[in-house]
Each structure stands twice: as structure tokens, then as C-alpha cells.
């Protein structure tokens, strides 16, 4: 017989023996724990109520809860209470304070502390105060811990008594080891299977991850599972048995098929059947399907449910008009055929048993081999030690160390935890030498999916006998809100035909009764349009009846219910917030002060992430911002992670064209279609982006991945653009930016142990692909703590409170169905049972426990609000197992009958209102949850602010003069390739055209960045292979070009490009001074030579003047000028080719500029115009200066510019056709080198 709890007075609760405190929602559980803690520190109480050990210190008082967050909150609350109590005991009595009858006593401020102090004589107060002060100072060492943390401490501190290893390493997340055990099982047992058998496995579980999901709940029960044969044997035996049964079902149909067809055809011909129910085309289709099944390999005939029914005696009787329906053994057989096919032997039970046992064994072995302990091992380790040969001694040691233990949230205990505390404190014996206080609320036991076991709590409840106490005064909610919740649960609790509010009532007992809470009330009131809203609003969606249904039969699907309620809820939230903006919705306290309702005052409780998305999208559509507080997804599974991965690939390999294009096309970078198209059609744009990502590559190498990502975000203006994006969905810009910054931090952390860019990129890919792990630092962070509507799951809301609560999906539930394997339930003794072969009985038992937990979830949801709750209801098509419908008495009701039942409830309760769940029009609901402040760009200085020290290149110098952004980065590097800014005279194409018979097909070769890079890469490859070797190996040349063309689908260009490149290599090319040389004849050449030049306050204007003075004198006055700027830092570049010929050294550069459709357009004058337009004169002057310095350093005094410097040779690749065509050759005078030397060293004031 269950004992009813007595009302608890924290000041008189016995502190020895075992006590159970049941604290309903909002009744001050944490306050009570802190008060009991004070008493233990003071040694308070009478002989029956005090602890025999007298005053205790914080290290002696064990306080256990189940989360780190709750541990921190408890520690802080207890410390604050100790400090507060110490101040009370330091205060002087009333008469010494000069108080009289009209002066309120300070004791009235906190009656609990006043009563506690009154239990001590005045002369003991200073001693009590000192004891409390010391305890508050000692709280950092207090034994306030999670259950796992405490077990870990016990195993370490009592290693000899517990016989636990000293060297084991604790890991909070063993998911990777478990996943590896599953993968190892898959490799061992499934890889060797025959293809047909393997297919039968992968149809159920496509991969090891799916298999692990299926057996996870079985792993703890592995020891109870029966031994089964290897999967190969199980599958083979099942295959043979199924084949035997299917053959026995098919055999008679090889004869019956034609007979059935004849019978039905005869009935149709004689017009004996209903023409709508049985037609010739139906018969033909059904008989053909049965024939194919009987003579084929398919296990099941392709018949609809209607066909199966129509071919039974009952179905034929419905279709036959005249006379009795025909009879035949086939029709009788068809009556049982669907069930026989459904009951075919299934190997899933044997496969799951074998997999669970083997994976559990492999997992345990792997942890032992690696000397790793998981969280579950901490509990099982201490449990095993307490049951071992030294168990009694260990229990005595722990009791001596912690004479009193307070176990919070005990309703979420499990059998292992209960055994531990029972072994230490001997609950049923009510020991006088120690104290165990169990605090919990069985009505809030909602964590069965984590292993919590309410039936274990009930076992403990029976063990404490009549020592049960309750907290019954609700300090959270208004009186009306408390009364509304009471009414919901009392309706079913008091129904003699029900199983009680929580499904535990029997004629003899009710271990979890609902006892109505008492309200203390609140001093503030929520007002909407000048009046307090009903405490509980039942908002009903009344679907229209389907065709042929009456008003009492109308019902809706779960999907329609969710979609409608998301809109209805969002429209009301938006309306309330709109009224708050006009001071028509808010809180008024007893002093008359008014505070407008804010978005953060509203919580929307949901069951799943999908429901959260529905309601957040509906809010966003109305301009209401929200935040989802229950997102447990890994940040590596976010959309931002995919974009960031593409960025990493491009930054790790900036020369990889496909990777770079993928990165540029990511939504987060936000490039427009025109900008993306320019990458294909404008070589200058492509080269600029290529240069940009090469910069990121060097920043990554020199500074790390985090600075590189931040630089990318800055240069693409990602943060400002994402924050300015209107929150039109749950995936707003703020969410994406938060994920990017979070991922960047995780990558930087990983880079400390992972070497190299490619390894870090692989790490990112592995994390994105991984489905295991729940490490806290990888969980999505809250994107904002601004004033927003809170969307939170019911589970996450437990322990929290909100002024106003909306529960739009109260009717939604997920029943346990026959195909759910395994199924769990508890027997009459409270022991956990499970099955891998469900039947109707086991499914009913499992679903009843599911509904019980849903009822407790409903209790949690309904008790979160301070002022009011809005409940979204609807008559679902199947609501017989809905928790809220069970409580409100609407199970099985539909349409108007459903509404009448709720109306009756609302009429009987003044605090409850029934309304229609209409979606308010946008003209009423539209509102911004935050003041609409336009996000403007950052203010820019009137004069460009420049870095004092930066790295430049030819590209950045030239483009700075054209208004293109210059990348000036400290300790970074710019691109090795110059910026070719082609200004083409006709529209460029991204793909190569078709070669023609013109003078040179290269004039029709594709233009733009892609084609230019292609030609440069060909010549670079030829230079590295050796021009002479290529000239002598035409097959090698053709194969290389064919491979590169195939990637770009340019197969028609293989022959023209082969001829062209061979011509470039073997044609004599003019050199400065009148000589010529074939690339094939070069013996000393180096492609892509890199250089760095130090510059000391280099003046761009003077550099420009020097180059103009000493190069291309005829065009000196027509060159685009460089922007006035100074380079103080480094100048970097890459020369396409440096070669030596006849004792002189030359710089060669490849230009893919398109100057016209024929070779005659590549005249010296045209090439000089291109050089002037793009300031290639600056480029080759800088290249020659770098070569000049190199030769001077290597040759020393033997170096003479006029003797050893050959000059610059610029090949306009499309114009190479015969000797001297398409080549610009020039060797500037030594005076230019002297001028540049002075400029770079900062020793020359001006250059005339």
C-alpha cells in the first residue's frame, strides 16, 4: 500500500535515516535543499530531527544531481544562502536596533531564516554565524557533484577497496570507440556474405551506423540476450525457411489462377457483379499479378489491399449482385494469404541479438585495451565494487566520508544508481547513523530515453515506507494558472473508470497520485488589451469533414495539424508583441508600474526539431525573431560547414581550378551571378580571385587557419552581409555566421595536433561525415542572446519558467508500433522487459508506457508558465493514445463532439477559455520583435588608411591605379602570377570554339581566364619537362594535351594545340640585340622562378616615372599612371621563365591576350599598345631588376649588366606563327636598374 506524503517543513525534516521528498513543479525544491544544507552545517534540530554527527562541513555533505549546469546552480545557490544566513545571525535583536511596534522587523523579510535563528539562544548566534561563514568560504571544496563525477571520485580515492585500476583514462564521449566496434563487426560478419544475403542485410541497415542505431538500446541488455548463430547461418536458414513457406503458398495458385479467372470472367459476362466493384480490366490485372507471383521469384504478389479484399469470400459477396457469390478454395486461401506473407520468418531478431552481443563485447575489449573508462563504466564500476568482496567495507568508508547525502532529481535514477545509494545508506533499514534524502518528482520523470527508470524510483518509494514528504505550495505561477493545471489533471485523477492521471492507479493502490498544488500567487499581472488573458486557453483547430463524413466525424492528419498550429501560434505571438509596442500588452506590478511584454517573455514548447522549424518559419514570416534553445546538432552538420569545407579546399590548393570555383559559388560568399559569370569570361577577374586565394594559402601557412578564415570573411564582407539579411527563415544570417565562427575556432584548436592544410581539410571532411559523438564543444551554439521568442523542447524546458507559454503541438505523439524493434516495458514487479519479436500484447504494453511518459511531459509543459498557457488542440484521426486527449477526456472523439467536450471543461473552469485556432490576418499580426534598425556599413575614412608595412606585387601595384582593391596584408604574401587584364574587342566565350582553316586556329581558341590559365599551364609543364625533350617526343606532347583537353571537353582542340605548342617550342624567337633562339635549344632554363624584393618607402610615382623614362620611349606619354602610394615592405613575384643563352640571361613571360582574329594583328605596334595598356612595362622592369640583383649577388665583381643581362622577351601566344611574329623583346638600359636600386633602397629623393 502506498503511503500518502505529508507536508514538508524544511526546518523539521529529519536529517538521519532515509527520507523521500516529492517536490511538485514550482514548489521551491532548490530553496528546500539549501535550507536543509544550512541545518546540516549548523547541526540544527531536535533529537529526532537532527543528525547524530552534529554540525557538518561542506566536504561531508554530499549533494548529487544529474547535470553539470545543475551542479553549478546548486553550489551557487547554497553558497548564497549560507552567506545570507550568516548575515542574519550577525544582526542584533530588535530591541537593540531600536525597533518598536510600528517598525517592521527585519525577520519578516525572510521568515524561514527568522524561524531558524529563533531556534538558537542569542548568545549562540555569533558562533552560528561564524560556522555559516566558514561553510560559505569552503563551498569550492563542497561535495556538490554529478552522479558520474562522484562515482569517479570514489573509484579514485578508494582504489584499493574498489579494486579499480590506477591508470585508466576517463573519456566523456566513447562514441567513436563504439562506432569502430560496429564497423569492425560489419567487416567481420557482413563483408564475407554472399551478395544475396548481404542485400537482405543492407535493405534493413545500409551501413554500420544504421546497425548501431538499431542495437544501441540492446547493448546494456547484452548479457540477457540469447546466444545465436553467426549471421551467415541465420540468414541462410531464414532464406531456406522463407523459400519453403513461399513455395507452399504459391504452389496451388499455379492451378487456381486460371480457375479464378474463369469464374470471375463468367460472372462479368453474365452481369452478375457490380460493374463498379468488379470489372474485366481489374480481373485481368489481378490474375496476371497472381500468375507472375506463382511462377516467378517475387515473395509477394503485386496486389493492392483492395484486390486482396475483393478476392476473398467477403469481398466477392459485396461485388456479386445476383445469387450467392461463387466459392472456391482460392478465395478461402486469399483470406489468410496477406497475414501468412506478413508472418514470414524474419532473421532480424537473430541478427540484432548477435550484433548486440558482439559489438558490446568488442567495445568493452577496446576500452580495456586502451585503458579508457566511459561515463557508464564509472557507475557500473562503483556498483560492482560495492557488491564485491570488499563491498561492505567500501560502503562503511563512504558513509563515514559522507554522513549525509542529498540526491536531487531522483525521479531520473536508474537501477545501477539506486543500487549504489542503497548499498551505502541501506534505504529500507532507515539507519540512524547516516542520512539519505532523496528529492524528486515522479510527475516530471521524462528521461526514459536516457535510461532513467521511473519504476526504480517507485521501488525506492516503497523502501522508504511512510517517510515521504511533499512540497505543495507553488511559488512560480499565478493562482489562476495553478488552478487551471490542477483542473486538467484532477479531471482524470478523480475519474473512477480511469487509471489515474499518470496511468498508475489500480483499485488497490496509486503510487503516483496527482495532488493539487496550492498557489501563493504573484504580485504582477500580465495584461493584453487591458485585461488578464485566461490562464489556460484551449485553441481548437476544427477541420472540415471529408466527403461522406458528418460533423461529428471530422478529423485531421498530424501533418495538417502541425502546419496549421504553427501558423495559428505564430499569429498570436505576433499580435501580442504588436500590442506590446503600443503599450497594450505587458506586466503591471502591485505598485502600478508597467513593463511591456518582450519577445523573451514568451516561450514556445515543442517536441522535436521539425516542430521548432515549423513554428520558427511561421514567426519569421511575420517578422518575429526567435531562437531555438534545444539544438543538439553538431555544428559540422550545418550548412555553413559545407561552405567552409569548400573554402578550405580552395585555400589549401588555390591552383586547383574546380576547387576554387566551388568555393566562389558557395552561398555564404554571396557572389552574384554576374560576378560568377565574370570568372569565366574575364581573365583579369579570374586572376584577381586566384591571387586572393593564394594570399589565404600563405596566411594559413604562416599564421594559422583562424586568421585565414577571418581574413576571408573580412574581404568578402561576409559578416556584414549575413547580419543584414532579413531573418526570413530559421537559417538566417546570424545563425550561419555563428556556425562559421564556431567552426573556425574548432579548426584552429584541431590544427594544434594536425599538421598541414590538407590534413586539416581531411579532418573537416571526416567530422562532416561522422554521425557519432555528442561533444559539447561541437554542439551548435546559440546564435544570439538578444530579446527573442524562446523556442525550446519540453525536455529542455524542465526546471525553467517563462511568463507566457505556447504549446502549439500538444496533441502530437509517436506511438509504439509493431515494427519498432526492440520494444521495452516493465512487468508487474517493475522489472524491465524487452522483446525482439513484438506482438500485439508487447506493443500495447510498450505504447502504454510511452503514453505515461507523454502525460508526464504534458505536466512539465503545463507547469512552465507564470501567467498563462496557450494549448493547440485538434481531433486527430488517431487520438486514442494521445496524452493530452487522455487528460481532457477527448480520446476517440472527433469533430463537433471533440469541441463540445472541451467546451464543457472550459465552462466548468473560470480560468480556462475555449477558442477557435484561426490564423490571425497579417494586418493584425505583422510586427518586428525588435526595433527595425537598418544595418549600415561601417564608416569609411575620407583618406584611404594604409598599412604601414605590406607586401605588394606587380598585380597589386597596377590595379591600385584602376580602383581595384589592393590586398595589403601584414606578414602575408601575394600571388606569384601577374594580373592579366584583357580588354577584348568582342564578347569572350567560356568554352573553346571549333578550329577553322584560318592562318592560325589559335585566334579562335577560347578567351578568358580559363583558357589563359590553360595555355600558361601547358608552357609551364613543357618548361619543367624540358623543351628539348618535348620537341623530340611528339607522342608525349600529344598525350599530355589530350589528357588536359579531355578534362575540359575540348577534344577537337587536341591536334591544333599540339601543332601550336610544337611550333612555339621550335620556332626561332627574336631576342634583344638581334639574336634569336628556339626554346627547344635551351640548356639552362627555370620556369616559375620566385623572387622577393625588400622595399623601403618605395614611391609609386617615382617608380612609374623611371620606367616610363627608360622603356618604350615613343609611348611614354600615353601610359596609364600608377596611383600615388608607397610600398614599405616586400615586393613578390613569379617569372614565367628565366633562361640563359650564349652567356646572357633573359626573362620570358607568356601573354594570352587576344589582339585580333588574324596573325597580322600582332604587329610590334599592337603588342606595344597592349603592353602600355596593361603596364607590362612595369612588370618586366621589376622582373629584370630582380634578375639583375640575383646575377649581381651570384657573380659578384664579374657581373656587368651590359655583358650578362639579355633582357625581357614577351610572347603573345596567339600570334606565334613563324620567326619574329608575336614577340616583343626589349633590354632597358642599366640606368633603369640604377634608378630602381635607389628607389627600393630609399636613397634617392626623386627620379626625373
List the chain domain ranges. Answer: 6-67+140-166+374-471, 175-371, 518-629+788-925, 635-778, 950-984+1081-1241
pLDDT at 942: 59
* 614 CB-near residues (< 8 Å, 6+ apart): 562, 563, 566
The reply to whether 518-629+788-925 shares the fold of 6-67+140-166+374-471 is: yes
Please give the Cα distance from 312 to 920 (Å, whole number): 51
Look at residue 190 in the predicted model and tell me its pLDDT.
94
Q: Give the three-state DSSP class for 404.
A: strand
Domain 518-629+788-925 has CATH 3.40.50.300: yes
CA–CA distance from 352 to each of 200, 208, 346, 839 (Å)?
Answer: 14, 12, 11, 17
- pLDDT tens digits along 1124-1145: 777 778 888 889 999 999 999 9
Report in angstroms the alpha-carbon separations of 25 from 8, 71, 121, 135, 475: 15, 19, 36, 29, 9
**What confidence tier does 1240 reach under pLDDT thresholds 50, 70, 90?**
confident
* Separation between Cα atoms, residue 175 and residue 219, nearest integer Å: 13
**Which range is least confidently modeled, 293-307, 495-509, 773-787?**
773-787
Which pLDDT tens digit goes with each residue over 643-653? 999 999 999 99
Other CB atoms within a 10 A radius of the CB of residue 854 amount to 23
Residue 364 has pLDDT above 50, yes or no: yes
What per-residue confidence (pLDDT) applies to 923? 53
Q: Which fold has domain 950-984+1081-1241?
A: Lambda Exonuclease; Chain A (3.90.320)
Give pLDDT tens digits for 558-580.
999 999 999 999 999 999 999 99
Q: Model confidence over 607-624: pLDDT tens digits?
A: 999 999 999 999 999 989
pLDDT band of 655, cuts 50, 70, 90:
confident
Q: In this model, does residue 896 exceed pLDDT 80?
A: yes
Structure confidence by residue, pLDDT tens digits, 200-228:
999 999 999 999 999 998 998 888 898 99
- Does the pLDDT at position 7 exceed 60? yes
Secondary structure letter of residue 107 according to DSSP: G
**Band of the pLDDT at 68, cuts 50, 70, 90?**
confident
Peptide bond into 822 cis (omega under 30): yes
Give pLDDT, residue 322.
83
Find where cell 627620379 sits.
Answer: 1247
Q: What is the pLDDT of residue 976?
A: 37
Average pLDDT over residues 387-403: 93
**Distance in angstroms (rounded) separating the CA atoms of residues 609 and 836:** 29
The more confidently predicted of residues 1241 and 864 is: 864
Q: Which superfamily, per CATH, for 635-778?
A: PCRA; domain 4 (1.10.486.10)
Is the pLDDT score of 111 beyond 90?
Answer: no
pLDDT in tens, 238-258: 999 999 999 999 999 999 989
Q: What is the pLDDT, as a whole number, of residue 98?
A: 45
CATH code for the structural domain at 6-67+140-166+374-471: 3.40.50.300
Query: What average pLDDT does the segment 1140-1153 reach?
Result: 92
Q: Which of 102-106, 829-833, 1230-1234 has the lowest mean pLDDT?
A: 102-106
C-alpha cell at 692: 586572393
What is the structure's pLDDT at 446? 93
For 213-220, the CB contacts below 8 A with 24+ separation are 214/352, 214/355, 214/821, 215/352, 215/355, 215/356, 215/359, 217/822, 217/824, 218/352, 218/353, 218/356, 218/822, 218/834, 219/356, 219/359, 219/360, 219/363, 220/451
pLDDT at 1017: 87
**pLDDT at residue 138, rounded to an integer:** 94
Q: Which residues contact 382 (CB under 8 A, 6 or more apart)?
A: 151, 154, 155, 162, 420
Q: Which of 629, 619, 628, 631 is nearest to 569 (CA)?
A: 619
Q: Region 804-819: what's the mean pLDDT?
A: 94
Q: Which three cell numbers stand for residue 694?
A: 593564394
Beta-strand relationship, 1069-1070 and 1076-1077: antiparallel
Is residue 70 scored above 70 in pLDDT?
A: yes
Q: For the full predicted model, state whether its pTM sits above 0.85.
A: no
Least confident range of 360-374, 665-679, 914-928, 1219-1233: 914-928
Give yes or no for a contact between 570 and 920, defined as CB atoms under 8 angstroms apart: no
Q: Per residue, what are the HEC states of 1171-1238?
A: HHHHCHHHHHHHHHHHHHHHHHHHHHHHCCHHHHEEEEEEEEHHHCCCCCCCEEEECCCHHHHHHHHH
Q: 1154 or 803: whose pLDDT is higher?
A: 803
β-bridge partners, 1208: 1147, 1226
Quote the mean pLDDT of the chain: 86
Q: Which of 236-240, 975-979, 1155-1159 has the highest mean pLDDT?
A: 236-240
pLDDT single digits (tens) 300-318: 999 999 899 999 999 898 8
pLDDT given at position 985: 33
Residues with catalytic roles: 1149
**pLDDT for 685 beyond 50:** yes
Determine the pLDDT at residue 969: 33
Q: What is the tens place of the pLDDT at every residue in 133-144? A: 999 999 999 999
- Average pLDDT of span 715-735: 72
| pLDDT(935) > 80 | no
Sheet holding 525-528, edge to edge: 525-528, 585-588, 594-596
Residue 1047 pLDDT greater than 80, yes or no: no
- In DSSP notation, 154-223 reads HHHHTHHHHT--SS-EE-S--HHHHHHHHHHHIIIIITTS-HHHHHHHHTT-SSHHHHHHHHHHHHTTGG
Mean pLDDT of 1033-1045: 89
Q: How far is CA 1166 from CA 999, 1163, 1172, in A?
A: 18, 5, 10
The CA–CA distances, whole Å, from 841 to 823, 837, 847, 848, 1204 equal 11, 11, 10, 11, 98
Helices (H), 253-328: 253-269, 280-295, 305-310, 313-319
pLDDT per position as a tens digit, 268-295: 888 888 888 888 899 999 999 999 999 9
More confident: 951 or 967: 951
As a whole number of angstroms, the distance between CA 762 and CA 779 comes to 20
- Out of 365-379, 849-863, 1071-1085, which region has the weakest mean confidence (pLDDT)? 365-379
Burial of 381 (0-12, 13-18, 19+ CB in 10 A): buried
Share above pLDDT 70 across residues of the chain, in percent, rounded to a whole number: 89
* pLDDT tens track for 523-541: 999 999 999 999 999 999 9
pLDDT higher than threshold 50 for residue 108: no
- Axis-axis angle for helices 280-295, 253-269 (nearest 10): 170
Q: Which class is 175-371 in CATH?
A: mainly alpha
Q: What are phi and psi of 808, to 5 degrees?
A: -75, -20
Question: 953, 1131 in Cβ contact below 8 A?
Answer: yes
Q: What is the pLDDT of residue 1232?
A: 92
Q: What is the pLDDT of residue 986?
A: 34
* pLDDT for residue 787 is more than 90: no
Return the ∠ at Cα 261 (arms to 258 and 267), rounded to 5°.
145
pLDDT digit string (tens) for 144-201? Answer: 999 999 999 998 888 877 776 666 677 777 888 899 999 999 999 999 999 999 999 9
Cβ–Cβ under 8 Å, residues 126 and 356: no
DSSP states of 1110-1140 as a string? HS-GGGGGGSPPPPS-EEEEEEEEEEEEEEE
Higher pLDDT, 968 or 480: 480
Amino acid at each position: 500500500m502506498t503511503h500518502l506524503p505529508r507536508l514538508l517543513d524544511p526546518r523539521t525534516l529529519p536529517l538521519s535515516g532515509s527520507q523521500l521528498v516529492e517536490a511538485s513543479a514550482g514548489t521551491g525544491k532548490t530553496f528546500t535543499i539549501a535550507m536543509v544544507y544550512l541545518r546540516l552545517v549548523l547541526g540544527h534540530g531536535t533529537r529526532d530531527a537532527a543528525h547524530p554527527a552534529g554540525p557538518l562541513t561542506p566536504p561531508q555533505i554530499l549533494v548529487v544531481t544529474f547535470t553539470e549546469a545543475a551542479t553549478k546552480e546548486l553550489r551557487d545557490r547554497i553558497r548564497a544562502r549560507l552567506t545570507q544566513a550568516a548575515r542574519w545571525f550577525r544582526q542584533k535583536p530588535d530591541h537593540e536596533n531600536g525597533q518598536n511596534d510600528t517598525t517592521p522587523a527585519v525577520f519578516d523579510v525572510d521568515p524561514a531564516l527568522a524561524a531558524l535563528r529563533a531556534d538558537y539562544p542569542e548568545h549562540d548566534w555569533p558562533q552560528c554565524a561564524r560556522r555559516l561563514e566558514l561553510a560559505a568560504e569552503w563551498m569550492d571544496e563542497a561535495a556538490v557533484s554529478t552522479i558520474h563525477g562522484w562515482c569517479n571520485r570514489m573509484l579514485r580515492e578508494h582504489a584499493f577497496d574498489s579494486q579499480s585500476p590506477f591508470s585508466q583514462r576517463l573519456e566523456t564521449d566513447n562514441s567513436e570507440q563504439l562506432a569502430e566496434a560496429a564497423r569492425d563487426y560489419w567487416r567481420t560478419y557482413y563483408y564475407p556474405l554472399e551478395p544475396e544475403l548481404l542485400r537482405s542485410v543492407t535493405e534493413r541497415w545500409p551501413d554500420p551506423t544504421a546497425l548501431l542505431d538499431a542495437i544501441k538500446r540492446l547493448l546494456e541488455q547484452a548479457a540477457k540476450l540469447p546466444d545465436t548463430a553467426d549471421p551467415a547461418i541465420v540468414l541462410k536458414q531464414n532464406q531456406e525457411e522463407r523459400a519453403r513457406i513461399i513455395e507452399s503458398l504459391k504452389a496451388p495458385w499455379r492451378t487456381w489462377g486460371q480457375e479464378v479467372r474463369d469464374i470471375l470472367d463468367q460472372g462479368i459476362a453474365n452481369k452478375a457483379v457490380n460493374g463498379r466493384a468488379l470489372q474485366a480490366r481489374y480481373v485481368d490485372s489481378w490474375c496476371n499479378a497472381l500468375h507472375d507471383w506463382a511462377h516467378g521469384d517475387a515473395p509477394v504478389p503485386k496486389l493492392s489491399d483492395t484486390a486482396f479484399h475483393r478476392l476473398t469470400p467477403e469481398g466477392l459477396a459485396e461485388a456479386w449482385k445476383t445469387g450467392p457469390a461463387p466459392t472456391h478454395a482460392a478465395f478461402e486461401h486469399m483470406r489468410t494469404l496477406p497475414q501468412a506473407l506478413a508472418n514470414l520468418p524474419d532473421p532480424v531478431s537473430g541478427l540484432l541479438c548477435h550484433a548486440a552481443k558482439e559489438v558490446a563485447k568488442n567495445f568493452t575489449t577496446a576500452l580495456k585495451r586502451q585503458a579508457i573508462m566511459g561515463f557508464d563504466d564509472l557507475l557500473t564500476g562503483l556498483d560492482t565494487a560495492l557488491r564485491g568482496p570488499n563491498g561492505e567495507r567500501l560502503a562503511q568508508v563512504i558513509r563515514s566520508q559522507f554522513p549525509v547525502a542529498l540526491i536531487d532529481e531522483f525521479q531520473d535514477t536508474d537501477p545501477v544508481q539506486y543500487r549504489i545509494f542503497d548499498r551505502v545508506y541501506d534505504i529500507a533499514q532507515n539507519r540512524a547513523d547516516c542520512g539519505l534524502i532523496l528529492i524528486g518528482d515522479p510527475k516530471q520523470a521524462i528521461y526514459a530515453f536516457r535510461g532513467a527508470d521511473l519504476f526504480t524510483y517507485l521501488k525506492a518509494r516503497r523502501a522508504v515506507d511512510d517517510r515521504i514528504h511533499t512540497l505543495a505550495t507553488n511559488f512560480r505561477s499565478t493562482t489562476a494558472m495553478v488552478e487551471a493545471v490542477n483542473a486538467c489533471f484532477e479531471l482524470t485523477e478523480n475519474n473512477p473508470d480511469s487509471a489515474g492521471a499518470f496511468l498508475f492507479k489500480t483499485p488497490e493502490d496509486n503510487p503516483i497520485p496527482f495532488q493539487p498544488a496550492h498557489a501563493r500567487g504573484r504580485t504582477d499581472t500580465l495584461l493584453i488589451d487591458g485585461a488578464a488573458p485566461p490562464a489556460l486557453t484551449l485553441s481548437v483547430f476544427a477541420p472540415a469533414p471529408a466527403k461522406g463524413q458528418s460533423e461529428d466525424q471530422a478529423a485531421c492528419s498530424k501533418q495538417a495539424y502541425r502546419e496549421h498550429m504553427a501558423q495559428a501560434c505564430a499569429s498570436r505571438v505576433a499580435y501580442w508583441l504588436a500590442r506590446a509596442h503600443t503599450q497594450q500588452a505587458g506586466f503591471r506590478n502591485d505598485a502600478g508600474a508597467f513593463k511591456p511584454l518582450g519577445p523573451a517573455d514568451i516561450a514556445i514548447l515543442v517536441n522535436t526539431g521539425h516542430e521548432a522549424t515549423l513554428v520558427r518559419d511561421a514567426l519569421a514570416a511575420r517578422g518575429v525573431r526567435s531562437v531555438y534553445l534545444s539544438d543538439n546538432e553538431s555544428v559540422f552538420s550545418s550548412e555553413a560547414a559545407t561552405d567552409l569545407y569548400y573554402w578550405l579546399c580552395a585555400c589549401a590548393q588555390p591552383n586547383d581550378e574546380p576547387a576554387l570555383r566551388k568555393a566562389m559559388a558557395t552561398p555564404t560568399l554571396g557572389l552574384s551571378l554576374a560576378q560568377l559569370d565574370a570568372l569565366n569570361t574575364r581573365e583579369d577577374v579570374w586572376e584577381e580571385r586566384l591571387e586572393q586565394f593564394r594570399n589565404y594559402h600563405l596566411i594559413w601557412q604562416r599564421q594559422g587557419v583562424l586568421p585565414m578564415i577571418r581574413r576571408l570573411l573580412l574581404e568578402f564582407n561576409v559578416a556584414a552581409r549575413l547580419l543584414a539579411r532579413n531573418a526570413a527563415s530559421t537559417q538566417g544570417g546570424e545563425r550561419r555566421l555563428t556556425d562559421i565562427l564556431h567552426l573556425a575556432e574548432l579548426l584552429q584548436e584541431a590544427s594544434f595536433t594536425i599538421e598541414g592544410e590538407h590534413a586539416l581539410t581531411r579532418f573537416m571532411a571526416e567530422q562532416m561525415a561522422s554521425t557519432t559523438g555528442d561533444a559539447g564543444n561541437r554542439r551548435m551554439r546559440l546564435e544570439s542572446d538578444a530579446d527573442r521568442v524562446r523556442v525550446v523542447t519540453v525536455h529542455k524546458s524542465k526546471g525553467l519558467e517563462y511568463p507566457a507559454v505556447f504549446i502549439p503541438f500538444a496533441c502530437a505523439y509517436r506511438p509504439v508500433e509493431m515494427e519498432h524493434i526492440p520494444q521495452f516495458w516493465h512487468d508487474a514487479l517493475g522489472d524491465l522487459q524487452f522483446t525482439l519479436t513484438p506482438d500485439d500484447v508487447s506493443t500495447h504494453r510498450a505504447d502504454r508506457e510511452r503514453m505515461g511518459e507523454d502525460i508526464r511531459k504534458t505536466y512539465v509543459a503545463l507547469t512552465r508558465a507564470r501567467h498563462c498557457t496557450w494549448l493547440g488542440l485538434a481531433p486527430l484521426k488517431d487520438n486514442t493514445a494521445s496524452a493530452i486527449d487522455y487528460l481532457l477526456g477527448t480520446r476517440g472523439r472527433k469533430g463537433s463532439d471533440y469541441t463540445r467536450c472541451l467546451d464543457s471543461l472550459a465552462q466548468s473552469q473560470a480560468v480556462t477559455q475555449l477558442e477557435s485556432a484561426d490564423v490571425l490576418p497579417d494586418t493584425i499580426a505583422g510586427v518586428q520583435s525588435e526595433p527595425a534598425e537598418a544595418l549600415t556599413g561601417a564608416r569609411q575614412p575620407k583618406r584611404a588608411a594604409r598599412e604601414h608595412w605590406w607586401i605588394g606585387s606587380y598585380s597589386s601595384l597596377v590595379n591600385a591605379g584602376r580602383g581595384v582593391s589592393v590586398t595589403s596584408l601584414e606578414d602575408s604574401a601575394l600571388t606569384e602570377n601577374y594580373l592579366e587584364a584583357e580588354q577584348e574587342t568582342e564578347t569572350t566565350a567560356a568554352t573553346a570554339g571549333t578550329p577553322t582553316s584560318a592562318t592560325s586556329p589559335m585566334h579562335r581558341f577560347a578567351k578568358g581566364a580559363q583558357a589563359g590559365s590553360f595555355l600558361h599551364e601547358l608552357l609551364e609543364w613543357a618548361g619543367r619537362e624540358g623543351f628539348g625533350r618535348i620537341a623530340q617526343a611528339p607522342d608525349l606532347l600529344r598525350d599530355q594535351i589530350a589528357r588536359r583537353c579531355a578534362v575540359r571537353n575540348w577534344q577537337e582542340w587536341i591536334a591544333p594545340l599540339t601543332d601550336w605548342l610544337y611550333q612555339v617550342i621550335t620556332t626561332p624567337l627574336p631576342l634583344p640585340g638581334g639574336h634569336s633562339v628556339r626554346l627547344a635549344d635551351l640548356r639552362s632554363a627555370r620556369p616559375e622562378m620566385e623572387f622577393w624584393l625588400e622595399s623601403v618607402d618605395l614611391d609609386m610615382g617615382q617608380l612609374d616615372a623611371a620606367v616610363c623614362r627608360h622603356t618604350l620611349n615613343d609611348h611614354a606619354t600615353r601610359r596609364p599612371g600608377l596611383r600615388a602610394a608607397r610600398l614599405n615592405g616586400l615586393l613578390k613575384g613569379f617569372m614565367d621563365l628565366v633562361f640563359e643563352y650564349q652567356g646572357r640571361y633573359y626573362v620570358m613571360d607568356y601573354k594570352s591576350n587576344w589582339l585580333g582574329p588574324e596573325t597580322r594583328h600582332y604587329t610590334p605596334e599592337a603588342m606595344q599598345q597592349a603592353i602600355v595598356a596593361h603596364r607590362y612595362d612595369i612588370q618586366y622592369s621589376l622582373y629584370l631588376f630582380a634578375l639583375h640583383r640575383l646575377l649581381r649577388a651570384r657573380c659578384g665583381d664579374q657581373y656587368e649588366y651590359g655583358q650578362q643581362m639579355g633582357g625581357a622577351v614577351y610572347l603573345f601566344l596567339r600570334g606565334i606563327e613563324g620567326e619574329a611574329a608575336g614577340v616583343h623583346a626589349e633590354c632597358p638600359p642599366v640606368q633603369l636598374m640604377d634608378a630602381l636600386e635607389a628607389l627600393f633602397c630609399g636613397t634617392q629623393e626623386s627620379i626625373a
